[in-house]
Amino acid sequence: MATSLGAAHNLVLRIVSGIVLAAVALGTTYLGGGAFALFWTAVSLLVWWEWLRLIEPADHYGLLVTGLGALAIGAVLAIVEHSGFALLILVLGAVAAGIIAARKPVWTAAGLAYAGALLLAPPLLRDNDQIGMRA
């Protein structure tokens, strides 16, 4: 009985957090600018952290710092409209993460690439004159 109550509580928590995240995503999409960039930066950082917890569950501090550094520098470069340099930093960060990963180097590098895509793609798409919010 306790297990089913715990599972129900977990489901409710996930549903509520999903609704809150959807509202924040829609709100920042409407606002654009720094709020939108900050939201997707936070999402990418959380995705990297969660990815590492799945792939490298023990002793992943060096990988965490490598990825967070690449994502943070990439975010700053993207905000000041140097997306090409941001992409370069993210690729180099993914390669570095793959090299220093103790286990599953390809999955580790792919995780940082995935988090980097979440960092760069939404702002670029939103601000596109043909298909974004300005269209």
Which of helix, strand or coil describes residue 54? helix
Angle between helices 33-55 and 105-126 (to 10 degrees): 170
User: What pTM value is reported for the model?
Assistant: 0.83
Cα–chain-centroid distance for residue 126? 17
Whether 131 maps to a domain, the answer reads: no
pLDDT in tens, 57-81: 777 888 999 999 999 999 999 988 8
Q: Is residue 116 part of a domain?
A: yes
Give a yes or no: residue 132 inside a domain.
no
Tell me what the mean pLDDT of segment 81-88 comes to.
93
Same domain, 40 and 10: no
How many Å apart are CA 10 and CA 16, to the nearest integer? Answer: 10
Domain hosting 89: range is 32-126
For residues 11 and 47, state if they share a domain: no
Domain count, the chain: 2
